[in-house]
Amino acid sequence: MGWWEAIVVVYIREILQLNAINLNATVMEQVPQQLIWTEQTREVAPIIILICVSLLVEKNWWRRLGVFLWTFAFWDISYYAGLKIKLGWPPSLTTMDCLFLIPVPWIAPVWFPLGVMLLFILLSLFIFYAAKE
């Protein structure tokens, strides 16, 4: 799913001619509101898929949380890997990015979501270890 999402972003950047290295609030203000709403629905879709996967593969609620965190982390890491492979972006971990648009744009350096995803992986491993069936 991360690769799929990276490809979508490649198309969005090309269509909107968003060649800015840093996707900050000023750049995001140039995107038409209708496209922001469309992008918000696209952001929700994989989260719903990850929730459904978590509900289907585990019966224990803690382990479901672990599956969600695990899959979310690898989804997001593969997203940034896909952007790096396809666009050579981000040029560095300090590059600013628009992480989410829900409910408002979240702007932060790329290292931040990658660090959070590392924590998600560690937390999911702890959950899997602690919530053995």
- The string of pLDDT tens digits covering residues 37-86 is 888 898 899 999 999 999 999 999 999 999 999 999 999 999 999 999 99
Angstrom distance (rounded) from CA 59 to CA 67: 11
Q: Indicate whether 5 pLDDT > 70.
A: yes
pLDDT (0 to 100) of residue 9: 83
Sign of the torsion formed by the C-alpha atoms of 53, 56, 60 and 61: positive
User: Which of these, 80, 84, 63, 70, lies nearest to 128 by C-alpha position?
Assistant: 63
Say what the pLDDT of residue 101 is: 85
What's the predicted TM-score (pTM) here? Answer: 0.86
Cis peptide bond N-terminal to 103, omega within 30: yes
Give the pLDDT of residue 1: 84
pLDDT range class, residue 35, cuts 50, 70, 90: confident
How far apart (Å, rounded) are the C-alpha atoms in residues 57 and 41?
25
pLDDT band of 26, cuts 50, 70, 90: low
Segment 111-115 shows an average pLDDT of 97
In angstroms, the CA 121 to CA 107 distance is: 22
Q: Is 113 exposed, middle or buried (0-12, 13-18, 19+ CB in 10 A)?
A: buried
Assess contact for 23 and 108: CB atoms under 8 A.
no
Pull the structure tokens for residue 6: 């990276």
Minimal CA–CA distance to 91: which of 25, 21, 28, 23? 21
| The pLDDT of residue 100 | 87
List beta partners, residue 96: 109
